[in-house]
């Protein structure tokens, strides 16, 4: 049971790292495309906002499901305590 909890905690840390990498990669790609195609400032801001929303959604959903798994483990532990 403790291993599963530790695994979920590690997965949360990985999700945060993936989120940061996804944000950096996406925004870097957007900037390079914006420079190449001469985007206006408004278009860059809108695209940055869209990328941010999508990345945040990924992070929140991943954390939501990991927390759900953690709650399942905790409820199993409460119903079947090992002494």
22 falls within a domain: yes
Give the pLDDT band of residue 65 (cuts 50, 70, 90).
very high
82 falls within a domain: no
83 falls within a domain: no
Long-range pairs of 24-33 with CB within 8 A, sequence gap ≥ 24: 26/51, 26/55, 27/51
18 falls within a domain: yes
59 falls within a domain: yes
Average pLDDT value for residue range 13-37: 94
pLDDT given for residue 83 in this prediction:
55
Q: Where are the beta strands (DSSP E) in 1-83?
A: none
Our count of domains for the chain comes to: 1
What residues make up the domain containing 23?
2-77
- pTM for the predicted model, two decimal places: 0.79
């Amino acid at each position: 049971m403790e291993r599963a909890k530790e695994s979920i905690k590690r997965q949360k840390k990985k999700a945060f790292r993936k989120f940061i990498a996804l944000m950096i990669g996406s925004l870097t790609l957007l900037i390079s495309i914006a420079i190449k195609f001469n985007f206006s400032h408004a278009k860059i801001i809108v695209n940055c906002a869209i990328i941010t929303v999508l990345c945040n959604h990924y992070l929140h959903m991943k954390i939501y499901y990991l927390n759900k798994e953690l709650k399942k483990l905790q409820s199993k532990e409460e119903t079947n305590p090992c002494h």
